[in-house]
Structure 1
Amino acid sequence: MSFEQQGFDTLRAQILNGQLSRRLVLKRAMALGLSAPVIAGLLAACGDDEEAGADPTSPSSAGGDSDATEPSGDGEETEVPDGEGDETPSDTASGGGQRGGGGQIRLNYWQAPTIINPHLAQGTKDYHASRVCLEPLIEFDDDLNPMFYLATEYPSIENETLAEDGTWAIWKLREGVKWHDGEDFNAEDVKFTYDWIVSEGNSATTLGVYLNIESVEIVDDYTVQINFKSPDPVWFDPFRGHNGLILPEHIYRDHMGDEGRNAPANLMPIGTGPFRCVDFRPGDVVLYEIFMDYWDEGKPFFDSVEMKGGGDAAAAARSVLQTGEADWAWNLVVEPQVLNQLVDAGQGELSVTPGVSYERILINFADPRTEVDGAFSEPSTEHPLLSDRNIRKALDLAIPRDVVKEQLYGEGDEASAALLPNLGVFESPNITFEYEPEAAQALLDEAGFTGFDLLFQTSNSAVRQRNQEILKAEWERLGFTVELKVVESSVYFSGDVGNPDTTSHFYADLEMYTTSPSSPLPISYLERWRSDDIAQQSNNWSGSNYTRYSNPQIDEWHDELKGTLDEDRQVELVHQITEQIWEDVVEMTVVTVAGKAAKSNRIAGHTNYVWQYNPMPQLKDWTLNEE
């Protein structure tokens, strides 16, 4: 069944059940692009009410002056009414809305998804594509209050569902939840998700979040107990957010370990979310349709979702803010003057989330030019130049962060060297930056530097390309020769083990992209600097340490951090780790970045959450703006 037919059938059923006024019928019908005769027939089925006499072909009768447009059923364009009113959800199971009838929501992700299994994903776009149809137990709002999805109760010492020392936690699960194929969700699925992630040979990219779990015990069909190997200060992280999306046991049980990457559901997932995947073309587009048996009554409002990839960030912004071809565009790494001009078109607005993200340059500690058993940048090799700390520090001192910020970045962005920006007490005040090219030259002279050819790679983004050019000019003044490489985003951020151009392969000297922690206590995020989590051929490049940096002291501090519940000691350890990384010049932050997206004027119900720089958990709550 097509998306259009699905929307029409839903609308017709709601009319026959007496659920909609004539005015709402008219709005839904126009949003679906139905012809005037069909709209007239639907209005007739409503009987007489306060909207009688409205002309279904008149834009003014549908809600007026919005400039937003979307294709009609015959390929022409028609004005889209602004819809149903704003709603900001607090309890995710609020219910009581209108399920279906809202037409299609169009998401533009210029970094196109390549897999729809979050536990094998290596790019944010894959997490987002997974989150449309898969769900975790909880998410967090900005005040760190739990937002419930597949769980209904947050573990607490008072309720005797959380150990005082953080060695176990009991989760109560939501009953009456269906998988998209009609099977029941229960505790078996939660336990299985853990078993699948840790199964030998799987190389799950979310493994770090689950390493301290001793076992997942089924108490009853809708209760699980998580037992930890040692006291765990982030006991809430497993099964939370995009690292915690639950997989169906009955779908994945024949694809454990090495077979995990071959599961058909990685490309056509079965989930519990408000929309089910009906078509996926990796690197291009994902299509979803409404799941009519979704557990949250009266949701979702929209009938279908299109997540379209490809192009670049500027084109994605234009599709929402100027042409109205999309409703949401994510990760707008676009010059501020360009964004401001697009906003002036009046089709939409920028959604700016105060960020914990930062644009950083990773330094390769391994040799990307030496082959080891068919692979490069293996941790058994050493970089011929960048293994020298003076060389790395010289590169850092020659970064004009203030210039980069002023020329390329905008609202909410800051020139910075921070490794955990805007993360409260965990951001060390001792991490600073200087622009000192003369000091950089002195360090190179001390190291006996006589020149070197650097390969510097990043994704296809106009801002990043201009950033590359600024840095290339600075570094070449010091005697380097810098070759710039640009990789298509769908490749660069993919988990394709056979493609040498991914961020985790890192077959270059330097690479640049944005990253951020997903938890207010960044224990799992700091895995990226551990010596036992290095991305390499033997683990299918699934390790989170892309730089191949190794320091036993970092491992020791991180081991202690994972086991202490003393908040003051947690802060001290995080500072020690990040300050050591900064001192060793393992990676170089250029700017801290606010989350920027474009939202169509017709969309209502969106809320900016720092810990959900991802609109997907909210899709079930989105509606259309009322005139």
Structure 2
Amino acid sequence: MSLNIRRRSAAALLAGAAAIGLLATGCSSGGSGGNGDPATLIAYTGQAGDYQINFNPFSPSRIGALGTIYEPLFFHNKAEVSDPVPLLGTESAWNEDGTVLSVTLREGVKWSDGEAFTAEDVAFTFDMIKANPAINTGGFDGEVAAVDDTHVTLTFAEPAFVRGPDLLSTPIVPEHLWKDVNPAEDVMEEPVGTGAYVLDDFKPQAFTYKANPDYWGGEPKVKQIRFLALSGNQAGADAIAAGTIDWQTGPIPDIQNTHENFPNYDAYTQAQNQMVLASCSSADMGCEGPQTDPAVRQALYYAMDRTQINSLAFMDTASDMSPTFALTPSQDSFVSAAVTEKTVPTEPDAAKAAELLEGAGWTKGDDGIYAKDGERLSLTIEIVTGWTDYITAVDTIASQAAAAGIEVKAAQSSWNEWTDKKGKGNFQLAIDALWQGPTADPYYLYNYFFDSGSGAKVGEAAGNNYSRYNNPAVDEAIDALVQLPLDDAAARQPYFDTIQAEIVRDMPYIPILTGGTTSVWNTAKFTGWPSDDDLYAFPAVWSALDAAEIFKHLEPQG
């Protein structure tokens, strides 16, 4: 297969968001789902608008391929504490002082174009990442060596224990096709990987994977996966009602009674992604607007009535959140004793918001809105068209903020435009969610979203730190945590204390609630979905590495 790529500017591609993820009525009782082929799964990721082709696994604007086509060395299940699942790697081990990570690779693996997968591909991938800061969001600074065809070592100047899960979750690409690729700028149209699926067809309205018959783990039982482009959450809910899709991660009406309303479907919710109003926070990095004032961000934090937001926007599926961004309750042990508010306030505190604003020199005008130095306290929140839950949340926050003297407006745009605005820093606030790392430890979220190394000046492409937060004390603490074993709680806690004190005060990402991530899936057509009894992956169609594992677990019923 030829490698078909197109050049695109880094600013257009590297918008620095998740998964991804990032990352939504009808009157029927739900059909059999998808189309007439019982081995074809129809999915909707939640992206509103047509797809723009890009299967570059290192690009935030990718629409697919991560996990399904491009595999990492191991799969780490962030849904629960468990051992890593061997993929392209079979064993891994650190030396005693944490400076050398040795990995044994799986034998007999081939790329989907028939070429052999070897340790040279792994070494090439890590060298490529190191040479391209725009995609090096994990801060890889080691030396990689292919010992032989099935063994690789990654060597660091200082202990790097904590980097292990991220390194082992890196997608591996083929050297023979990527040696002339610019991974930060190129749009990948014909991906070649080692995964269980290959690209079959692409159109702006839908793209399709087909099972890889030569997959090292055996050809998957789900023979095709088709991803549809819909207009937003309402269209996704309508498709569930009509029985035309098999899996979506997003809201539908009366979601708690999904199976009663649509007997072929069930819903499953897990709280992991922490919803925020992300700010372009740093005036020094070129951000403009009232949101660059930490007092404004803090005031907006206290203006929110989260009980009302949860009820109106999220059907009470959201849960508590810590302003430290340690996931509650599973990471409560990491929360600093010095943090007085362990979780976000559920009710608004207008007096506290006024105290913060007036202490920072803001004065309430005759129209009830604060102003300072001739600048009115008016903020715009960017949101993706069709994300009905987030749209409702922003409308609710706007009403609550007005009561505290802050004007809030909403600006809707396509997912591609929204992503581009965040990446370039052309926004004041954006409603989004911060995701967890490969293991249940807050270090990874801090490293992804608060380390200045993945930020950038406005106009330049940012990595995950699209808030452009720049705090040397936080950077130093994150760097120190890299060198400590994950199980040395006593040594690590002082650095968590430092990070949490800084980010709770500065609040570049204004906490809302922990999102109840709910998937609705067709249990009549497929078995093997995650459950409380077997939570083998985080159940979200837009969480690419997790979704890839789920696709391999499913079995058609018909």
Instruction: Please classify the TM superposition score into its range, dividing by the shorter chain length.
Output: 0.7 to 0.9
Map of 1:101-500 to 2, 5 A cutoff? Answer: 103-111=39-47, 114=52, 115-121=54-60, 126=63, 129-141=65-77, 142-155=80-93, 162-200=94-132, 203-204=134-135, 207-212=136-141, 214-241=142-169, 244-255=170-181, 259-261=182-184, 263=186, 266-281=188-203, 284-297=205-218, 299-320=219-240, 322-330=241-249, 332=250, 334=251, 337=254, 340=257, 344-353=261-270, 355-366=271-282, 379-381=284-286, 383-410=288-315, 412-418=317-323, 419-422=325-328, 423-424=330-331, 425-428=333-336, 430=339, 431-434=342-345, 435-446=348-359, 447-449=361-363, 450=371, 451-460=376-385, 461-493=387-419, 499=420
**Contact 2:259 2:267 (8 Å CA) reproduced:** no
Secondary structure of the residue aligned to 2:431 is strand
Instruction: Deviation per CA, 1:164-210: give whole Å up to 9, x if none.
Output: 1111111111111111111111111111111121224x621xx1324
Which residue number corresponds to residue 44 of structure 1?
Answer: none
Distance 1:366 1:250 in 2: 41
Displacement of 1:227 in angstroms is 0.9
Secondary structure of the residue aligned to 1:403 is helix
Distance 1:489 1:342 in 2: 30
Distance 1:393 1:305 in 2: 44
Distance 1:441 1:319 in 2: 45
Specify the code of the residue in structure 1 equivalent to 2:211: I
Q: Aligned Cα RMSD in Å? A: 2.7
Distance 2:224 2:537 in 1: 26
Moved more, 465-474 or 414-423: 414-423
**Contact 2:46 2:232 (8 Å CA) reproduced:** yes
Distance 1:323 1:211 in 2: 47
Distance 2:33 2:453 in 1: 52
Secondary structure of the residue aligned to 1:542 is coil
Larger radius of gyration: 1
Secondary structure of the residue aligned to 2:390 is helix
Instruction: Deviation per CA, 1:124-162: give whole Å up to 9, x if none.
Output: xx4x5422212111112423311111112232xxxxxx2
**Contact 2:73 2:88 (8 Å CA) reproduced:** yes
Distance 2:34 2:410 in 1: 39
TM-score by length of 1: 0.72
**Contact 1:69 1:324 (8 Å CA) reproduced:** yes
Displacement of 1:557 in angstroms is 1.2
Distance 2:253 2:500 in 1: 30
Distance 1:341 1:301 in 2: 26
Displacement of 1:415 in angstroms is 4.0
Specify the code of the residue in structure 2 equivalent to 1:433: V
Identical residues among aligned pairs (%): 21
Specify the code of the residue in structure 1 equivalent to 2:411: K
Specify the code of the residue in structure 1 equivalent to 2:401: W
Specify the code of the residue in structure 1 equivalent to 2:157: K
Which residue number corresponds to residue 45 of structure 1?
Answer: none
Map of 1:497-536 to 2, 5 A cutoff? Answer: 499=420, 501=421, 503-520=422-439, 521-527=441-447, 528-536=449-457
**Contact 1:169 1:235 (8 Å CA) reproduced:** no
Which residue number corresponds to residue 32 of structure 2?
Answer: 68
Displacement of 1:547 in angstroms is 1.7
Instruction: Deviation per CA, 1:310-339: give whole Å up to 9, x if none.
Output: 32123224423x222111112x1x266356
Judging changes above 3 Å, is the alpha-carbon distance between structure 1 residues 571 and 314 closer, same or farther for their aligned structure 2 residues? farther
Distance 2:128 2:203 in 1: 25
Q: Does 1:542 align with 2:477?
A: no
Judging changes above 3 Å, is the alpha-carbon distance between structure 1 residues 433 and 108 closer, same or farther for their aligned structure 2 residues? closer
Distance 1:597 1:67 in 2: 17
Equivalent residue pairs, number: 490
Moved more, 172-181 or 423-432: 423-432
Judging changes above 3 Å, is the alpha-carbon distance between structure 1 residues 616 and 504 closer, same or farther for their aligned structure 2 residues? same
Instruction: Deviation per CA, 1:46-98: give whole Å up to 9, x if none.
Output: xxxxxxxxxxxxxxxxxxx99515544xxxxxxx8xxxxxxxxxxxxxxxxxx
Specify the code of the residue in structure 2 equivalent to 1:224: V
Displacement of 1:441 in angstroms is 2.1
Judging changes above 3 Å, is the alpha-carbon distance between structure 1 residues 237 and 341 closer, same or farther for their aligned structure 2 residues? closer
Judging changes above 3 Å, is the alpha-carbon distance between structure 1 residues 405 and 163 closer, same or farther for their aligned structure 2 residues? same
Distance 1:476 1:523 in 2: 35
Map of 1:550-569 to 2, 5 A cutoff? Answer: 550-565=470-485, 566-569=488-491
TM-score by length of 2: 0.81
Judging changes above 3 Å, is the alpha-carbon distance between structure 1 residues 339 and 568 closer, same or farther for their aligned structure 2 residues? same
Judging changes above 3 Å, is the alpha-carbon distance between structure 1 residues 261 and 545 closer, same or farther for their aligned structure 2 residues? closer
Secondary structure of the residue aligned to 1:326 is coil
**Contact 1:171 1:224 (8 Å CA) reproduced:** yes
Displacement of 1:254 in angstroms is 1.4
Secondary structure of the residue aligned to 1:441 is helix
* Higher RCO, 1 vs 2 (CA within 8 Å, ≥6 residues apart): 2
Distance 1:490 1:415 in 2: 30
Judging changes above 3 Å, is the alpha-carbon distance between structure 1 residues 578 and 139 closer, same or farther for their aligned structure 2 residues? same
Map of 1:12-27 to 2, 5 A cutoff? Answer: none
Instruction: Deviation per CA, 1:533-566: give whole Å up to 9, x if none.
Output: 323367x413222222222111121111111223
Instruction: Deviation per CA, 1:475-525: give whole Å up to 9, x if none.
Output: 2233333221112224424xxxxx4x3x22232221111121222234343
Which residue number corresponds to residue 625 of structure 1?
Answer: 557
Distance 2:259 2:234 in 1: 10
Unaligned runs of 5+ in 2: 1-28, 364-370, 541-545
